[in-house]
Structure 1
């Protein structure tokens, strides 16, 4: 059974992620392309450095060729945003990336992109999954490896230059060059190094790289740039007296930042910093977009400049769609993904990291000073993020209690309203909030809470956990 979450289809290697299932999924996509009359426009296929990613990319290629669909295969591990950019640049109908992004090493998966290099919308992935799950192995048309290579339908692209140049074209390279910045880059054993290092070196930054080797186990940790996973980067920034450190997740669509003092900047802080910079440093105008579990400090920045901040469900497809609808300047999420108007309609840790370097260079200040100035202007909010595992039986119980019975704890704060469109979000009268929802990428229940103080956010999160009997 293949199902899509907010970040595509992901499953355990050898369990759900198998050659048979990859072939079935791709056959389903080929059937869809034939029905839509877009097969001749072709697809883009890319992959990351996970175990089996390169092999699975060829499994997919063989099925596309068996169905007569032209393929542009990125023939080296590369960032997911580069694949999205290539779909848009070549005018292809669809694209896929073989990756499980920031999931643990035992996972792999496939992300699906549609015309323009966008994350596939829920309607498309639901329809595709239903069709794929109706197929059998006998329905799959695939070509042998020899026939695939001799078909003339496969173009192997190994250069990343077009994507790198597209990012450089959007940066003030002269300003970065004159900033004389020192940056430590941590690709977390993933695919960011070549692109991000090339951008920074082109702008004459001094770049030190850690955790760059190919390690399908990601050094024994999740390839996700969280505060806990960035301790090595924090030490490297302090040891090298660097201006900042940039970490990216396994497929380079998310980022994490360490400032010049070795302090971790959360994705929420980075998102607010970049929105403020685009409005005040580059003179852009327009709203912002965030998902329901992302900081409301972004709303304060928008309001201070006469703009609106739009809230959407979790899943970057909703952010990119709302950005297009409202011509927003920036869109992002608390998990580390963001994009900016004029770039791809999806997350890009390479571009976001490069833009942050531009911001520091043009300011003439340290990153820690820039954030201190922002807090002095807009104040600060504290967020607690917690994830709880559960058994299949407990999931059914939690699903019923939360989303059928609407069984919530008795909060001490006054509740302004409760939204149930994507999990549950409780809006408190004092401006704080808490979200409770099942992850779309991992088998966990996520509880995010934002309040004026860390103690208050922790108190609400603990109350939710006790009420639901999770985390015990």
Structure 2
């Protein structure tokens, strides 16, 4: 019942996300740590503001401490990137964050990190899943709740200052201070407010915050900073005449941006902006890494600067691994996560949002004008995304037709090549492309398409939906 996807284990609360399953997962991890000989080096645990997150963190702690493993628990809801940073800073072999990130409110889950603060690789999560599968409650060794709370094995940490200082040390705070920027922050009822607000106020920005209260239902919306969820942020930016709006998802590892005109900047656009900023203004040099469903505009930026853009499968673990291999200075994905070299090998919405503010301050221009400069130099590519739910029987059919028999619809443009490395990706001769793959975190099949115009991208995606009768997204 515990299956790890591209973003860890996520399940519906009360269905598969239960006390029993959290304890089984913790026991499997404890067994792995003992077998690897790293148990005495301990583990870092954090949690977000979802229903049961804090409670579930202690369910795991009771088991890990019951197996003699030292635990450092961050005893307040914090951004998941802080857990990753703490794993790296403490030189711990593992970290564990109780979160379902941007999933709907009825989900919770666990993200697993390995040494250096990296997302656990597929090999690690596959092996852990195999360990957990035969376990029963009788195999679980756990302290009683009151014993765990008082155990010498458990270190409670409430400060977030080390993490915030690490981000601020990388920023040009002096430049931001003299730009007098007005920023609206939308943490989407998640965990970003304290961290993001502290950084921006330290940089003398005027900061207004919306959707900040603790609401495990996330205001009735998905805690995902996609365009359709950011109408309140757009309204606040326009009403207050702010320079930009920053939204972060439920656990603050992803972000979405509203510019000074109220326009939504997609994660693809943010990635392009920041890569160009690092190369042109900050004087950095190095390649970029993107996943297979992220804009090819990054390829154009890289080529213009004599650099290379590396493509990897979906899952941030692949991005961080390729960055380490190639010395890339930035890496990211179209779903909103990115990381910059020198911080953590994982996505961090707090760092990315802060760096974007620095970019605006350093340019002396409005954010809308900065992106127009990108379009004038590199052209425009438009992307569409669709997600289609399926029944178990339908999944089996689609798996057979698309990914076994390699059936695809007919397209009105020449195909350069097709990759089946991670789902299906069709590369067209005119620099357009299309991907089809099953989500690793939700029961949906996702279709991405990018082309020179929005109409062309929509036509590519619609060809897939019509051919396989996928219904409404």
TM over 0.5: yes
Please state whether the residue corresponding to 2:256 is helix, strand or coil: strand
Alignment correspondent of 1:2: 2
- Counterparts of residues 217-228 of structure 1 (less than 5 Å): 217-228=217-228
Shift of 1:327: 0.5
* Distance (whole Å) between structure 1 residues aligned to residue 317 and residue 461 of structure 2: 27
* Distance (whole Å) between structure 1 residues aligned to residue 179 and residue 247 of structure 2: 20
* Distance (whole Å) between structure 1 residues aligned to residue 310 and residue 90 of structure 2: 31
Shift of 1:145: 1.2
Shift of 1:348: 0.1
Please state whether the residue corresponding to 1:416 is helix, strand or coil: strand
Alignment correspondent of 1:467: 467
Shift of 1:146: 1.6
* Distance (whole Å) between structure 1 residues aligned to residue 129 and residue 222 of structure 2: 27
TM-score, with length taken from structure 2: 0.99
Asked if 1:138 is matched to 2:148, the reply is no
Please state whether the residue corresponding to 1:30 is helix, strand or coil: helix
Any idea what the Cα deviations from partners look like across 1:137-189, whole Å, max 9, x if unmatched? 11000000121123201111001000000000000000000010000000000
Alignment correspondent of 1:299: 299
* Distance (whole Å) between structure 1 residues aligned to residue 145 and residue 460 of structure 2: 56
* Distance (whole Å) between structure 2 residues aligned to residue 65 and residue 158 of structure 1: 19
Alignment correspondent of 2:252: 252
* Distance (whole Å) between structure 2 residues aligned to residue 9 and residue 187 of structure 1: 23
Asked if 1:95 is matched to 2:99, the reply is no
* Distance (whole Å) between structure 2 residues aligned to residue 80 and residue 26 of structure 1: 18
Alignment correspondent of 2:410: 410
Please state whether the residue corresponding to 2:230 is helix, strand or coil: helix
Alignment correspondent of 1:290: 290
* Distance (whole Å) between structure 2 residues aligned to residue 150 and residue 156 of structure 1: 10
Shift of 1:134: 1.3
Asked if 1:72 is matched to 2:72, the reply is yes
Please state whether the residue corresponding to 1:386 is helix, strand or coil: strand
Asked if 1:341 is matched to 2:328, the reply is no
Alignment correspondent of 1:378: 378
* Distance (whole Å) between structure 2 residues aligned to residue 147 and residue 253 of structure 1: 33
* Distance (whole Å) between structure 2 residues aligned to residue 349 and residue 213 of structure 1: 19
Please state whether the residue corresponding to 1:430 is helix, strand or coil: coil
TM-score, with length taken from structure 1: 1.00
Alignment correspondent of 1:14: 14
Please state whether the residue corresponding to 1:446 is helix, strand or coil: strand
Shift of 1:471: 1.5
* Distance (whole Å) between structure 2 residues aligned to residue 85 and residue 56 of structure 1: 21
* Distance (whole Å) between structure 2 residues aligned to residue 459 and residue 369 of structure 1: 29
* Distance (whole Å) between structure 2 residues aligned to residue 247 and residue 309 of structure 1: 27
RMSD, aligned α-carbons: 0.5
* Distance (whole Å) between structure 2 residues aligned to residue 169 and residue 237 of structure 1: 28
- Counterparts of residues 17-416 of structure 1 (less than 5 Å): 17-416=17-416
Please state whether the residue corresponding to 1:103 is helix, strand or coil: coil
* Distance (whole Å) between structure 1 residues aligned to residue 149 and residue 331 of structure 2: 40
* Distance (whole Å) between structure 2 residues aligned to residue 387 and residue 214 of structure 1: 29
Shift of 1:43: 0.3
Shift of 1:197: 0.3
Please state whether the residue corresponding to 1:449 is helix, strand or coil: strand
Shift of 1:431: 0.7
* Distance (whole Å) between structure 2 residues aligned to residue 433 and residue 166 of structure 1: 38
Which blocks of at least 5 consecutive residues in structure 1 are unaligned? none
Any idea what the Cα deviations from partners look like across 1:200-247, whole Å, max 9, x if unmatched? 000000000000000000000000000000000000000110000000
Moved over 6 A (4+): none
Please state whether the residue corresponding to 1:417 is helix, strand or coil: strand
Which blocks of at least 5 consecutive residues in structure 2 are unaligned? none
* Distance (whole Å) between structure 1 residues aligned to residue 151 and residue 239 of structure 2: 53
Alignment correspondent of 2:445: 445
* Distance (whole Å) between structure 2 residues aligned to residue 295 and residue 287 of structure 1: 15
* Distance (whole Å) between structure 1 residues aligned to residue 197 and residue 213 of structure 2: 14
* Distance (whole Å) between structure 2 residues aligned to residue 186 and residue 147 of structure 1: 39
* Distance (whole Å) between structure 2 residues aligned to residue 396 and residue 421 of structure 1: 19
